A and B are shown apart, each in its own frame.
Chain A
Amino acid sequence: MEAFELLLQGFLTLMTVQKLALMMVGLILGVFVGVLPGLGGPNGVAILLPLTFSMDPTSAIVMLSCLYWGALFGGAITSILFNIPGEAWSVATTFDGYPMAQKGQAAQALTAAFTSSFIGSLVAVILITFLAPRIADFALKFGPPEFFAVYLLTFCSFVGLGREEKHKIVISLTLGLLLTGIGMDTVSGQLRMTFGFTDLLRGINFLVAVIGLFGISEILVTMEESLALRGHAARINPKVVWQTWKTLPRYWITITRSAFIGCWLGITPGGAIAASFMGYNLAKRFARDKESFGKGRIDGVLAPETAAHAAGTSALLPMLALGIPGSGTAAILLGGLLVWGLNPGPLLFVEHKEFVWGTIASMYLGNIVGLVLVLSTVPLFAAVLRVPFAAIAPMIVVSCAIGAYAIQNAMFDIWLMLGFGLLGYVFKKLDYPLAPLTLALVLGSRTEDAFRLSMIGAAGDLRVFWSNGLVGTITTLALVLLFWPMIGRAFEHARKLMHPARKAT
């Protein structure tokens, strides 16, 4: 087994005191970030990214990905004990988790949540271990037209499958793409959309935008809602953990289903949020008594948590193998890779083996250590929420500013962050989706480069996107997804036409 050997090597790279220490730091910070409302996975990673600039890439990604696992675990604590989802993907966990806490079963709910998250991630990591090398092999065949087709597919799937109003998705997407165009054009060297401002020459860094869009705007939203924190106490002892674990095998169907949904939605850019809701809804649909959902059922906690973590973890697969992030946090990690001087994509697997497999090994280790850590320290983290928001809010603002400044050492970026904070706040309130904007900011310039390189290669002939089976399939799929709502309606229509016809005969 080649994958197995490489994985073993990955574990060996991790076995240094420094890396293990960074893992712990990452996990603890991550749980904090997940517990605090107003901070979340994406911001936490974005804000701490500057800390890693002076580290070697493997240590850096180990710390940041552990932060990500920590945030995934932390979201469950606040959902269950305080009925406040620390993260959007833990909203579905509150449906049954909080009622369980109200019934005095907080410890069971937390154990179930942590364990199922662990299982979800584990399934996804195993998937990554065996799938990543194959995808990378496959992706080595990719040239600029194929890459452009894949980016197009990503954007089209947002527009076609997104649940928000279509014009809002298009606005969010095009705005992001336009913002990445600002600055020097990489192909011709011309200046675009800078209007003579020297600060705009560098272009708009997407990390600055993300810190504003998620960090600052989240503070504004949280402040507006004025949190009344009234939580349940919880202490987890080994007996409860063991008893809860004994009941889990009964729910294996729910867990397997959720893990599958999670992996699927994580790889395609559906993300952890959609996965957690889908996991919950399907568990409810297939349950024998649907009425008891929402009143504190343990599988109501298991289903969304497994799915969210499977999605959160498997979102890293397309990032490593193709350079396309499956989630917001993966997008920021991708930004990190670029800063550390690595080029995400299939070549990463050839040129930086120890980095890739170190990362994958840290996913296994980080999840196991994370599970033990959260099970043993829940009371401590629950206490964090009793710290007044008036003390936390300004500290988060400062952390955001530090993060924004450190990326390019530019004061202008702090102003930009503030602007994006306002934009994010207004967009959130008006139901404009932020995910397409973020994704466009990450992928925008690479999409354009891929397109223009394909055009140079094909002497301006658009048929290059259908020049072979691979690229043709992807491009066609992208267009199908873009017009999916119309195609779906056409099918519906056709079926209705068929139906009376069948009756008549």
Chain B
Amino acid sequence: MRTRYIQRGAEVSEFSQIPIWRRMNKKDLIQIGFGLFVVFFVLSSYITAVLHLLPYDPLKINLKEMMQSPDYKHILGTDFMGRDILSRIIVGSQAYFMPGLLSIIIALFFGIMAGLVSGYNGGMTDSIISYILDIIDSIPKMVIILLAIAFFRPGIYFIMLIVGITNIPAVASLIKSKVIFLKKRNFIEAGKALGLKSRDIIFKHILWYNCKAIVIIQATLGMAEVILIETSLSYLGFGVQEPEPSWGNMVAAGKDYFFMGDFYLSTAPAIAILVSILGFYLLGDGLNNALEWRRKR
């Protein structure tokens, strides 16, 4: 009888059957964990707000307790109007999250459609779609947003709609190059030869098996970008207005106090921005590494 030296492990095929948690190494796990933590934090801000679990009312002005340093009562201190900073930071994530989801959904939905049609059909359809998307791609995002703001005086949702639209070309181009890659490698032809329905080929095989990584990365990167844009706009005064808290306008409000020696007013929201963007980046990176494992040995 042969002795088996190693019992665990399965055959590694192109689509690895080794369960995901076995494939990941420590680094990826940490990244994904961190990212999920951030997501959890953001989601919890909605829950706590709804359930009135916030430490303090973020809008409540209390002039008696202005500009206090962090202490046991106010974990992150208070701002220049006596409002609790921690509560404001918790609620601040609501300024971008839902609108951000809108932006991501639009970018992904239309981007995937455009990419699929472009790549699958090729020819004239491809040229037309590419042309239109290229036009959108040629103008820097911020320029479009500024113009839109000046023209339409929109709410944050409209702005995020525009951000979503400006992200469509990137998604479409990634999906399209993936489809062309699969075409070149005859995966699609093989599928047709096997008699698979077109619909199956597209949804199950192309999208689910092959484009998962792209979608996840674009979604997480998209959210990170949304945070950046929303906070930048609020900082510039275009987004969420006082007294509603947004991390951007908190930084803006606090910046004048720098020279008086009070840093935390500006720094606390800045760190919140930093951690959130970092979280989404790492989440996307870690998931990508975990999913692309089958390429390596």
Please determine whether chains A and B interact with each other in the same assembly.
no
Write the residues of chain B forming the contact surface with A, with a CB cutoff of 8 angstroms.
Answer: none
Q: Give residues in A with beta carbon < 8 Å to B.
A: none
